[in-house]
């Protein structure tokens, strides 16, 4: 998977009303093909995200999204097509700063119980790509090992013919001494 998602949709957070905004992101045609290639799946047949973004004040914003997608992957055992459905909800907190946070090589102390994913995402431009988080979460929701119904991986038997122990040569050297 390449670093940057193939689809971008920008919203100007500076023009966002206090009521926020609800946005439907529906991908079609070439965008579906680009997402399938980026996500390394056979195809993406349908992709829809409902995104709610609201101003919280002081440069903070709440981003909430629900993704629904239909895709087809290759079975890891038979390589047959495996249809999949993704239905996922997630949220993020955003913090708009005018300058990027300076990375200081120090130990960062978090409040007890706080995790890195609880910290707001720092952004430096009011133009925010609302498609980026949706596509990142979509890629994380894809089954990494899809299997066709009834497909099972069988490991080769230990004494399989034609398989030689790589240390057999050493054993023959020892007996020749």
Residue 158 lies in a domain: no
User: 5-61, pLDDT tens digit by residue?
Assistant: 999 999 999 999 888 999 999 999 999 999 999 999 999 999 999 999 999 988 999
Q: Contact, 82 vs 75, CB < 8 A?
A: yes
**Tokens coding 6:** 């193939």
Nearest Cα residue to 16 out of 53, 50, 49: 53
The whole model's pTM is what? 0.74
CA distances from 130 to 7, 13, 77, 164, 165 (A): 10, 10, 36, 55, 55
Within-domain flag for 161:
no
Number of domains in the chain: 1
Domain contains 16: yes
Asked which of 42-46, 107-111, 145-149, 167-171 is least confident by mean pLDDT, the reply is 107-111
In a domain, 173, yes or no: no
User: For residues 149 and 84, is the Cβ–Cβ distance under 8 A?
Assistant: no
Domain-embedded: residue 171: no
In this structure, is residue 160 part of a structural domain? no
At 112-164, the pLDDT tens digits run 444 556 789 999 999 999 999 999 999 999 999 998 877 666 666 655 555 67
Q: Where are the beta strands (DSSP E) in 58-171?
A: 60-74, 81-96, 121-123, 127-129
Asked if residue 99 is part of any domain, the answer here is: yes
Which residue segment(s) compose the domain that 106 sits in? Answer: 10-150
175, part of any domain:
no
């Amino acid at each position: 998977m390449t670093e940057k998602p193939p689809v971008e949709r920008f919203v100007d957070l500076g023009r966002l009303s206090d009521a926020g905004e609800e946005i439907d992101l529906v991908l079609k045609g070439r965008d579906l093909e680009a997402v399938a290639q980026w996500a390394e799946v056979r195809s993406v047949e349908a992709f829809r995200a409902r995104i709610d973004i609201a101003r919280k004040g002081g440069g903070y914003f709440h981003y909430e999204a629900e993704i629904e997608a239909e895709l087809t992957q290759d079975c890891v055992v038979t390589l047959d097509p495996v249809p999949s459905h993704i239905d996922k909800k997630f949220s993020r907190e955003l913090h708009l700063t005018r300058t990027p946070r300076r990375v200081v090589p120090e130990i960062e102390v978090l409040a007890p119980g706080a995790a890195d994913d609880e910290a707001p995402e720092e952004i430096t431009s009011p133009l925010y790509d609302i498609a980026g988080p949706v596509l990142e979460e979509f890629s994380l929701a894809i089954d990494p090992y899809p299997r066709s119904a009834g497909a099972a991986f069988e490991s080769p038997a230990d004494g399989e013919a034609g398989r030689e122990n790589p240390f057999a040569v050493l054993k023959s050297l020892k007996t020749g001494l």
